[in-house]
Structure 1
Amino acid sequence: MALSKTVVSQGDSLFSKTRMCHFFSVGACTRGSDCSFAHDETELVGRPNLSKTKLCRMYTSTGECSDAYCRFAHGRDELLKLPVARGRKGKKQQIPSKFSEPSRGGIATHVGAHDIVQDDVGW
């Protein structure tokens, strides 16, 4: 399964507690301790570095990448494993993902990928 909105939205995702809960700040969060957003600054955790966890689509299709700031792997030897997430009960969990092949959606696309990562993930 590729990293998707489904995985990102789960409470056990890599992105759990990386941002403050807007609904809690206005007194409207109904999820309580099950909320994947932080309700207090002490709950905040750093965002995971997903660089080099997917193959660069440009490099895969042309053998070259002209983007000096490309966050994607240029060959399988550069691929890194997805960071381990902590579940709601504090247990480490590996988020399932398919990192060997580039795809056309979300953070896997190369054209505008850096903007997509910043918009979707919050960098």
Structure 2
Amino acid sequence: MPPKGFKTVICKFWENNMCAKGASCTFAHGMEELRRYTNAMERFKTKLCLFHMQGRCCKGPSCPYAHGLQELR
């Protein structure tokens, strides 16, 4: 999951001149706002997954939260 404010997708509404969110839009309004996201940015999990602790996390290895103390950094 990209960090907050990290725009990796062009806004479909902006492409059609219909985005009403302006600067608060979470999607990129042009190539200059677009940033590439890599899995290397997800290396460290700093919080435990509450769903995993309850036995209900369905995301497995793609979960952005640690599934046990061994994954926690």
- TM-score computed with the length of structure 2 as normaliser: 0.54
The structural deviation recorded for 1:35 is 0.7
Q: 1:22 aligns with which of 9, 12, 23?
A: 12
Paired position in structure 2 for 1:98 = 48
Paired position in structure 2 for 1:109 = 60
Cα pair distance change 1:49/1:20, threshold 3 Å: same
The structural deviation recorded for 1:109 is 2.5
- Stretches (4+) displaced over 6 A: none
Cα pair distance change 1:25/1:97, threshold 3 Å: farther
Q: What are the within-5 Å matches in structure 2 for residues 1-123 of structure 1?
A: 13=4, 16-49=6-39, 80-82=43-45, 97-98=47-48, 102=52, 104-105=57-58, 108-109=59-60
Paired position in structure 2 for 1:67 = none
- TM-score computed with the length of structure 1 as normaliser: 0.35
Unaligned runs of 5+ in 2: 63-73
Q: Identity across aligned pairs (percent)?
A: 22
How many residues matched? 58
- Helix, strand or coil: the match of 2:14? helix
